[in-house]
Structure 1
């Protein structure tokens, strides 16, 4: 493995790992705050126990995300010094604001975890809500920095120099809103389905059914926001990509020839040599509509661009197809859930219904990882689109493969520790948090 591939592999692993916790941090506190609000309004001890159980999970995932995020910050300087030398002064603002949001989130989480029966009940609830708001802001600010890499703005590039820097324009670049909106929707969908899937599994075990049913319904309520918001955010993102990065759109659809009324390609195996997509299903004119809003609109093909500027077409195409597939599946499942909730309530307790949602536990995060693959791989060979190529930004330091192996070991270890902690936390729920369980015995009244 050469140093360039090692650097890219390490960054891909780090981003793929961290993005899960970033999404959890954007959404999970809102589930916690909603459950807490239900407790304050109803006085139900089940909602109180659920809030406490979820808050402990938020704390565990927050700590893991803090570790992986810190590692990412170091990696940017370690692996891409040329990039940070020039880009740091331009998009430093969202990173600094993200740091502020992170500290607010940490402080509010501390107040929430240790504030039971010590703080005013509504101030305590507000602390939980602030955890969610600051977590959401943190994620959006990081996306703003990534969006700048896809749509660089806020500077003039003259004779190899970055001048006339405007950090406000850099942060609110053209890609910022489409990416931030799509990411937020995806986070709600992924986290909602993941939490609902865990509680669906626990309902299937026939223990603490009332407790986990309430949790399942809250989680699905948030999942529906993402599932039904995805088509809208995806449409906005697609039209933005068409305007800014037509070559990425062409790679997403393995679209080789420029044409009007372009078909939307489902599945298939792209062949870059022949410019064909084998074994695919084509839906006439849909790609043109998605890209331009006109069924007869023109969509540029890959052959319009120099071959050395093509991203890896197969990787981008497959990732895009995976994202679309799981997104559609979750949207359909959201429809089934609503039908059951309002028309077929007996389905809610059926084994097949609960198994379906348990199986869907990872679907949102699979789609999320695939979407980020499209975003990052689809930008190649550029690290700053149209300005700096990735290979020109990599560190000249040798031995990066050993750094990759070390960081891989760290992330695998973190994943194992996290799995152990979350598993233990789930096993502790009946005894410490669920008043409907016969073994319920909280350690203290203020636990």
Structure 2
């Protein structure tokens, strides 16, 4: 296996696992904060039990996220030394701020976990809120660094080196806001639907279990609301991609030929040799509107991009379709849930709805993974868009495939341990609400 492929696969594995831990760490603290808020206001024990169960989940994912994040930081230097040599002084600021946010999050989480009987209720609740805010801030800072790779700023590239470096301009590059907004909402969608789906499946086994019923309600309120707003952030992000990275947009849409107006391609399998998308559905003029807000706008195709600078079209297009389809499904479920709440219908008691939510348990994280494939694969062959190509940044050190195998085995083991720990925590605390023990 050649070095470039092994290095890219290793980063893909590490990022693929870490992003799940990171998303849960960003969103789940707000679920536990809502549960504790309801306990403080109502005095119902079930909400305190939910907050405790979810806080233990936050602790588990915080620990695994710290491990996987540390691995990623080492990989950046070991696998991509040329990249870090030039990029480190430019986009180091968001990483330093991420470290600060992580530090605050760790302190607040410790206070939350061990302060139940030592802090006043509202003070304790506030520490949980700090966990969530610092977790979101941590994610935003990391996304800002990635956004810089897609939209380089804050330096001048002269004779193969960066000069006149401005770390603030680099951090607040043109892509940071759209990517941060889209990623943050994605974290809440994915975590909300995953938590709701897990508790929905357990609720199907014991329909009168109050613990799982309230868990589904809280997580769907958060996940459903985020899913409703997610398409708006996606549209904002896509318009930015159309302006800054036309090759990525063309690969996302399977748009081979520049056209005015341009149709939106739904589904299909791109054929890079024939430069067509087989089995696709086309909506006339819609891509022009989505990309530029004008039904008659010209959309640049891959025919205006040098062939050696094309992203892998098939992977990017299919991943984009999966992301969009998953997002639409969850948006519709979110709208339906809020409609049912508005009409006063107890939709949580319907088995068919619980099955539907249960089936959608992994859907949010599938969308997150697909979205990151679009972001990273769609930027190729560039590691710094328009400045440095990925092949020029990889380490010459041989034998990278062995570290790839080791990392893959490590993350698979870590995932099994996390799933087992989470299942044990939920079952242990929810058992007191089983129908057989409570008399229904």
The two structures share one fold, judged by TM-score above 0.5? yes
1:27 maps to 2:27? yes
* Partner SS state of residue 280, structure 2: strand
Residue in structure 2 matched with residue 60 of structure 1 by the alignment: 60
**Aligned pairs, number:** 439
Q: Structure 1's 208 and 347: CA in aligned 2 closer, same or farther, altered over 3 A? A: closer
State the 1:430 CA deviation: 2.6
Residue in structure 2 matched with residue 194 of structure 1 by the alignment: 194
Residue in structure 1 matched with residue 310 of structure 2 by the alignment: 310
Residue in structure 2 matched with residue 298 of structure 1 by the alignment: 298
Residue in structure 1 matched with residue 321 of structure 2 by the alignment: 321
Distance 1:309 1:108 in 2: 46
Residue in structure 1 matched with residue 94 of structure 2 by the alignment: 94
Runs (5+) with no aligned partner, structure 2: none
Residue in structure 2 matched with residue 44 of structure 1 by the alignment: 44
Output aligned runs, 1:13-162, within 5 Å. Answer: 13-162=13-162
Distance 1:39 1:234 in 2: 35
State the 1:346 CA deviation: 4.4
Residue in structure 2 matched with residue 399 of structure 1 by the alignment: 399
Distance 1:62 1:207 in 2: 31
Residue in structure 2 matched with residue 443 of structure 1 by the alignment: none
Q: Is 1:311–1:377's contact at 8 Å kept on the other side of the alignment?
A: yes
State the 1:9 CA deviation: 0.2
Aligned CA RMSD, in angstroms, stands at 1.5
State the 1:344 CA deviation: 6.2
Distance 1:148 1:194 in 2: 30
Runs (5+) with no aligned partner, structure 1: 441-447
Distance 2:114 2:435 in 1: 24
Q: Is 1:46–1:435's contact at 8 Å kept on the other side of the alignment?
A: no
State the 1:438 CA deviation: 3.2
Output aligned runs, 1:240-255, within 5 Å. Answer: 240-255=240-255
Q: Is 1:259–1:299's contact at 8 Å kept on the other side of the alignment?
A: yes
After TM superposition, the runs of 4+ consecutive aligned structure 1 residues lying more than 3 A away are 434-440
State the 1:416 CA deviation: 1.2
* Partner SS state of residue 39, structure 1: helix
Distance 1:204 1:368 in 2: 27
State the 1:231 CA deviation: 1.3
Residue in structure 2 matched with residue 387 of structure 1 by the alignment: 387
Q: Is 2:206–2:435's contact at 8 Å kept on the other side of the alignment?
A: no
Residue in structure 2 matched with residue 273 of structure 1 by the alignment: 273
Distance 1:280 1:418 in 2: 40
Q: Is 2:238–2:249's contact at 8 Å kept on the other side of the alignment?
A: yes
* Partner SS state of residue 380, structure 2: coil
Residue in structure 2 matched with residue 176 of structure 1 by the alignment: 176
Distance 2:133 2:427 in 1: 29
Distance 1:439 1:429 in 2: 14
Normalized against structure 2, the TM-score is what? Answer: 0.97
1:232 maps to 2:200? no
Q: Is 1:190–1:363's contact at 8 Å kept on the other side of the alignment?
A: yes
Distance 2:232 2:420 in 1: 37
State the 1:341 CA deviation: 2.2
